């Protein structure tokens, strides 16, 4: 099996460092990809530090992968050497369950996530995109629209689809008031996508420090959540709230900002569980929901939507040896608005 260079962690308490990993030989249905860039998602940090309690080590994180096809297996006709492609959070699934049949592989009872998961053989640890090459079944390879630059497109593979999917599912569009809590990696993509869907977009950030950025990204309004007046003035205001924050918030206070029948969708994953009283849900028939990335079909739809509307992420490119510093800065919300690793620095 080919050995390749990677960067990852051996345990939850160590910094990331160089590792050697192996990739399988390219099978008949496989696409072999030279990785060019990989985005740094907050989920990488949660998992590298075992903040969800389910981490498998050694771990090479990274699920916002873009690169170029080097070769394909004998049964692959949709891709060829030289194609620009992406890999997101999923590299396989059972293909048989109701969720897989509905093209919602993210909810499959046996999904194969890009890392921190066993591969289909139930013994090999899947390893992610902080590495030079990856081999993936053709059904889980995404096509990157020609007009989008690879580096800025990497974050669409997780932050893009994770926000596009609930915006579509809960019908963000003309006449709808949509709030985005947290202007980070997910949040800034949510603003761009909801704006392109023609919804009226409000950013709820802790302070007004990012106000100019939020407006530039497409927000119609920006409010600070450290100002109690925000929670008085916006009662019953929104049709949909997308919550991207990864720490515990008072969900009840935000539910009160929804109109009758409005929904708040959780995307962020705090380590501890906030409590919600029934009243903000009962008064107003409101819903508290969650959403997980998106299926492969919808991820392609999102990429094509972003191609059509020329949407990419706002990024800071880093060489691989700056990754530990980048993790610290993400935790402090000090990134505009996604770090992307230049994988050439690993080769």
Helix, strand, coil in percent for the chain, rounding step 5: 30, 25, 45
Query: To the nearest whole angstrom, how small is the minimum distance from the Cβ of residue 182 to ligand NAP?
Result: 3
Q: DSSP of 93-118, one letter per residue?
A: --S-SHHHHTT-GGG-SS-EESSSSB
Nearest C-alpha neighbor of 95 from the set 116, 82, 109: 109
Which string of x and - marks every residue 147-186 that binds ligand NAP (by CB under 6 A)? -----------x---x-------------------xxxxx
Residue 100 contacts Zn ion per CB under 5 A: yes
β-pair type (315-318, 287-290): unpaired
Whose Cβ is closer to Zn ion: residue 224's or residue 317's? 317
* Distance of alpha carbon 106 from the chain centroid: 12
Question: Which x/- pattern, by CB under 6 A, does the window 198-227 give for ligand NAP?
Answer: -------xx---x-----------------
The helix/strand/coil state of 262 is: strand
Q: Where are the alpha helices (DSSP H) in 125-183?
A: 150-153, 159-169
**Which stretch, 14-22, 33-41, 201-209, 304-312, contacts Zn ion (CB under 5 A)?**
33-41
Nearest to 320 by CA among 287, 296, 343: 343
Minimum Å gap between C-beta 206 and ligand NAP is 4
Rounded to whole angstroms, how far apart are CA atoms 12 and 37? 24
Nearer to Zn ion, 93 or 131 (CB): 93
Q: Which does 93 bind (CB under 5 to 8 A by kind): Zn ion, ligand NAP, none?
A: Zn ion
Q: Judged by CB under 6 A, does residue 193 bind ligand NAP? A: no
- Residue 156 interface partner, choices ligand NAP, Zn ion, none, CB cut-off 5-8 Å depending on type: none
Among 158, 219, 335, 340, binds Zn ion (CB under 5 A): 158
**Cβ 298 to ligand NAP, closest distance in Å?**
12
Phi/psi for 194 (5° steps) reads -65, -35
Using CB under 5 A as the criterion, which residues of the chain lie in contact with Zn ion when the complex forms? 41, 43, 93-94, 97, 100, 108, 158
């Amino acid at each position: 099996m080919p050995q390749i260079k990677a960067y990852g962690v051996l345990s939850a308490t160590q910094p990331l460092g160089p590792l050697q990993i192996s990739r399988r030989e390219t099978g008949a249905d496989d696409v072999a990809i030279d990785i060019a860039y990989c985005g740094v998602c907050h989920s990488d940090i949660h998992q590298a530090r075992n903040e969800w309690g389910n981490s498998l080590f050694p771990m090479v994180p990274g699920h916002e992968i873009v690169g170029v096809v080097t070769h394909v297996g004998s049964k692959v006709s949709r891709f060829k050497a030289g194609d620009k492609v992406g890999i997101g959070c999923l590299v396989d699934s059972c293909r048989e369950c109701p969720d897989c049949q509905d093209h919602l592989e993210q909810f499959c009872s046996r999904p194969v996530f890009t890392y921190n998961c066993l591969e289909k053989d139930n013994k090999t640890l899947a390893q992610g995109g902080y590495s030079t090459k990856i081999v993936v079944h053709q059904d889980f390879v995404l096509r990157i629209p020609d007009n989008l630059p690879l580096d800025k497109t990497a974050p669409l593979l997780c932050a893009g689809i994770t926000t596009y999917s609930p915006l579509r599912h809960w019908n963000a569009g003309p006449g709808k008031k949509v709030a985005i809590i947290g202007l980070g990696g997910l949040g800034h993509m949510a603003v761009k996508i909801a704006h392109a869907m023609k919804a009226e977009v409000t950013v709820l950030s802790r302070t007004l420090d990012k106000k100019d950025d939020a407006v530039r990204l497409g927000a119609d309004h920006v409010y600070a959540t450290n100002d109690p007046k925000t929670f008085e003035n916006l009662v019953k205001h929104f049709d949909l709230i997308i919550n991207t924050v990864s720490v515990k918030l008072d969900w009840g206070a935000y539910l009160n900002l929804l109109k009758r029948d409005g929904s708040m969708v959780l995307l962020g994953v705090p380590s501890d569980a906030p409590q919600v009283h029934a009243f903000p849900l009962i008064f107003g028939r409101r819903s508290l929901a969650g959403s997980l990335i998106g299926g492969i079909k919808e991820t392609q739809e999102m990429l094509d939507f972003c191609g059509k509307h020329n949407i990419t992420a706002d990024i800071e490119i880093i060489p691989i040896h700056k990754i530990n510093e980048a993790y610290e800065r993400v935790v402090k919300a000090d990134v505009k608005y996604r770090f992307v690793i230049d994988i050439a620095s690993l080769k």
